[in-house]
Amino acid sequence: MGEWKTVYEDEVEERWVTLKVYESEDDGDEDPVVRVTVAPLEDAEQDESGQTPGAEAEDNSTTLEPDPVEDLEEELQEIGFSPVAAAWIVSKVPA
């Protein structure tokens, strides 16, 4: 069985973005399976307990699971990211 691996986690356009890639045991030539969680930054900043920002903000977060990965940039723009920011996030997906 595979697992989700966080490949990028940071603030982008005043929102906390977590990009995860699913690593399966059979590494074929298929596109990676990705999941992007976006939470408002003010929710992430409220967490002073030392936990990962965004962990407490799941109620206000948006999760994208595009299939195929080529759709990720468009989906990010649909939820309000600029084309530059969307391209930046997509560039973090391992090839």
Q: What is the pLDDT along the chain (95 residues), one digit of tens a residue?
A: 789 999 999 999 999 999 999 988 776 657 788 999 999 987 555 554 555 554 444 568 999 998 778 899 999 999 999 999 999 999 999 87
pTM for this prediction? 0.77
The pLDDT of residue 55: 47
Q: Is 16 helix (H, G, I), strand (E, B) or coil?
A: strand
Burial per residue of 55-77, b for 16 or more beta-carbon CB atoms within 10 angstroms, e otherwise: bbbeeebeebebeeeeebbebbe
The pLDDT of residue 27: 61
